[in-house]
Amino acid sequence: MKVNLMHGAGGAVFSELLGETLTKYTHNNAGGIGLEALDDGAVIPFGGQNLVFTTDSHVVKPLFFPGGDIGRIAVSGTVNDLAMMGARPIALSCAMIIEEGFDIDVLKKIVASMDEALGECGAAIVTGDTKVLERGAIDGIAINTAGVGVAEKPVRDCSLVPGDVIIVSGTIGDHGMAIMTHREGFDLGEQIRSDVAPLWPLVEAALAAGDIHAMKDPTRGGFSNAINEMAEKSGVQVRIKEESLPIRRSVKSASDLLGINPLDVANEGKVVMGVAPEDADAILAAIRSHPLGKDAAIIGVVKEGTSVILETSIGGERFIEAPIGDPVPRVC
């Protein structure tokens, strides 16, 4: 069997590849939380502290889009993975693979954008590597970043407990919809902007406000994938109220016109968390006090059971399923 594009789309097909091939290391844990957990990052206890370590490679078409660019994603992606573990980002590495003929001015813009994102979360790029490949061997540029951070108390994605309240830090589906509509040239009247941003300051405020049991950033596979992973790994049921889900009007209308579920597309500046019910209001207030979290909302609760269920506004129930590759029509 060969790797195909579906494998890269996240979701169930990707999980299969992951389970059967990419996590078959026998040396997979450095003493804390390792690769086996498939969490946002690894935890390495060191000198009485919890080091958190993560890496991410970034490719995106187009390189610049409303609300961001590849450089901002490259920093935010890694910083957010650290933040999802409850870690303050300290230092990042940056490896760039560049296609022959790539415009240096564009490269400058990317670096400047990365620098700006670093400034927003107090991290630094401290080491790097650059490779140039011949024309056609790569499409423009790919950026890998790795990052280390320190967590006082690491937060997992598998520790939801019945009774928890689910909070999302803002509107869902912005990044994926922005990229798609911009790339394909859809004129929707109102432009959708990506939400790409480093989340540590927001997460730091939330952590200070109460007890966060689990966190995940709904990137690839969108909110659907993230919430399903959290529910499955925690062995609980999550019930989401449809009318509480913050979705921008422009994203909703794009979704209605294109047949794309906004819950299934990537976000680059959002966090989904399960928190102790008594702390929910305080945490929500802390998140909302941050500019990136002004649309934050309580969207659901954790129950005993399995799967993620959406309670629709008309009193029905639907499963929220992790997307597998492309949606296939099923209405007869």
Partner 1 sequence: MRIRGQISIKGIVQGVGFRPFVFKTAHELGIQGTVRNLGSEVLVLAQGTNFETFVHCLSQGTPLSRIDSVTVTDSDEPVPAGFVILMSAEGSLSGFIPADVATCDDCIRDIFTPGGRYEGYWATSCVNCGPRYSIICGLPYDRERTRMDEFPMCGACEDEYTDPASRRHHAQTIACATCGPKLSLLRTDGTSVPGDPLHTAASLLDNGAVVAIRGLGGFHIACTAEATGRLKGTLGRPEQPLAVMATKEEIERVAIISETERKCLTGPSHPIVVLVKKDREALKGISKLHTLGCMLPYTALHHLLFRYLSQPMLVMTSANPPGYPMITNTHEACERLKGHVDYILTHNRVIQNRCDDSVVRDGKILRLSRGLAPKRERRDLGNACILGIGPELNANISIYKEGYCITSPHVGNVRNPATLAYLQETVERTACLLGAKYDVIAHDLHPQFLSTRYAHELAEETGATLMPVQHHKAHIAAATTSPCIGIAIDGVGYGEDGTVWGGEIFAGAVPDLTRVGHLEPVMMPGGDLATRYPERMLYGILPKEETAALLRARGWDATALGVLEKQVERRFNVTITSSTGRILDAAAALLGVCRERTFDGEPAQVLETTAVTGTPTLWDREFTQENERTILSTSSLLREAFSRMKNERPADIAASFQQTLATGIAEIAVMAAEEKGYKKVALSGGVAYNHAIESTIRKTIVASGNEYILNTNYPLGDGCISYGQCVWAGTTLKQVRK
Q: Kindly list the residues in this chain that would bind partner 1 in the complex (CB under 8 A).
A: 180, 184-189, 254, 256-260, 307, 309, 314-319, 321, 324, 326-332
Give which of Mg ion, partner 1, none residue 260 binds (C-beta under 5 to 8 Å, depending on kind).
partner 1
Name the segment binding Mg ion (CB under 5 A); options: 49-57, 120-128, 245-253, 320-328.
49-57
From the CB of 101, what's the least distance to Mg ion, in Å? 30
Contacts of 223 (CB under 8 A, 6+ apart): 168, 172, 173, 263, 264, 267, 270, 272, 320
Which residues, in sequence order, are bridge partners of residue 310?
A: 240, 318
Give the shortest CB-304-to-Mg ion separation in angstroms: 29
Give kind and range of the element (H or E) at residue 177.
helix 174-184
Residue 82 or 309 with smaller CB distance to Mg ion: 82
Shortest CB 70 distance to Mg ion, Å:
15
Give me the least distance between CB of 188 and partner 1, in Å please. 6
Nearer to Mg ion, 81 or 164 (CB): 81
Q: Which does 189 bind (CB under 5 to 8 A by kind): partner 1, Mg ion, none?
A: partner 1
Instruction: Find where tokens 């609980």 sit.
Output: 236
**How far apart, in Å, are the Cα atoms of 12 and each of 187, 243, 269, 321?**
32, 27, 23, 10
Q: Which of 308, 327, 326, 328 is closest to 318 using CA atoms?
A: 308
Q: Which is nearer to partner 1, 3 or 332 (CB)?
A: 332
Gap between the Cα atoms of 9 and 14, Å rounded:
7
What does residue 156 show for φ and ψ, rounded to 5 degrees? -95, 175
**Residue 268 in the binding site for Mg ion (CB under 5 A):** no
Shortest Cβ distance from residue 26 to partner 1 (Å)? 25
Alpha-carbon gap, residue 274 to 100, rounded angstroms: 46
Count of residues touching Mg ion (by CB under 5 A) = 2
Q: Which does 81 bind (CB under 5 to 8 A by kind): partner 1, Mg ion, none?
A: Mg ion
CB of 329 to partner 1, least distance (A): 5
Residue showing the smallest CB distance to Mg ion in the complex: 81
Residue type, position 229, single letter: E
Instruction: Tell me if 81 contacts Mg ion by CB under 5 A.
Output: yes
State residue 26 phi and psi, 5-degree precision. Answer: -85, -25
Q: Give me the residues that bind Mg ion (CB under 5 A), please.
A: 56, 81
